[in-house]
Copies of this chain bind each other. A is one copy, B any other.
Amino acid sequence: MARPRKFDETHALTAAMETFWRRGYEATSTRDLSDATGLGQSSLYNAFGDKHELYLRALRHYYETHTAEQTAFLDRPGPVKERLRDLMVHALDADLAGPDACGCFSINASVERAHADDDVREEVRRHFATVERALTETIARGQRSGEISPQRSAATLARQVLSTYYGLRVLARVQKDRNALLGVVESAVSAL
């Protein structure tokens, strides 16, 4: 019917995601995106719409590839507190891994764009809610097994862990002392 694309859409989307993730929305130019994906500007606009739409696609792509990866730590077998610790320590090590570490894209988006962009806010809300739901289920499991006191509701405890978890990732942007941050993880887990 027509000339076929000679690029892989998912591959291009991954490159765009990494660029937005590393540099943020405003600091990324459409030339940067063109360079990162290897596509010409017209191909980019033809395939993904404008910069704003591409950013949203990149955010959703992050959700599909990275958020599920995070919550997967929680679904593994074993003591619930170890699962929670794994989740946080894994993120911590990612955030401390050299100068290329760029934190959590969802958190970055929430801070840089959510206040000015309803679509971004809604998308990030979805990311946060998914992690919160996974935490709630995990903690409820711990309560059923007797590992965690049922005194406070699983939902409340999950939000508490979520806050600590996200705060930890903010602190890791400037505080590179792994032991100090590990202390927070231990403290958060043992407070359950």
Contact = CB atoms under 8 A, between A and B. Distances in A.
A170 interface: yes
A125 to B, nearest CB: 4
A171 B180 contact: no
A1 interface: no
A160 B184 CA distance: 5
Contacts of A174: 110, 114, 121, 124-125, 128
A187 B160 contact: yes
Interface residues of A, number: 44
Contacts of A162: 167, 171
A183 B167 contact: no
B191 A160 contact: yes
Contact of A26 (B24, B128, B164, B187): B24
Interface string A140-157: 000000000000100011
Interface in A100-145: 101-103, 107-108, 110-112, 114-116, 121, 124-125, 128
28 contacts: A23-B116, A99-B115, A103-B115, A107-B111, A110-B173, A111-B173, A114-B174, A121-B174, A124-B173, A124-B174, A128-B171, A152-B187, A157-B187, A159-B171, A159-B187, A160-B187, A163-B163, A163-B164, A163-B167, A163-B171, A164-B167, A165-B167, A166-B167, A166-B170, A166-B171, A167-B168, A167-B170, A191-B191
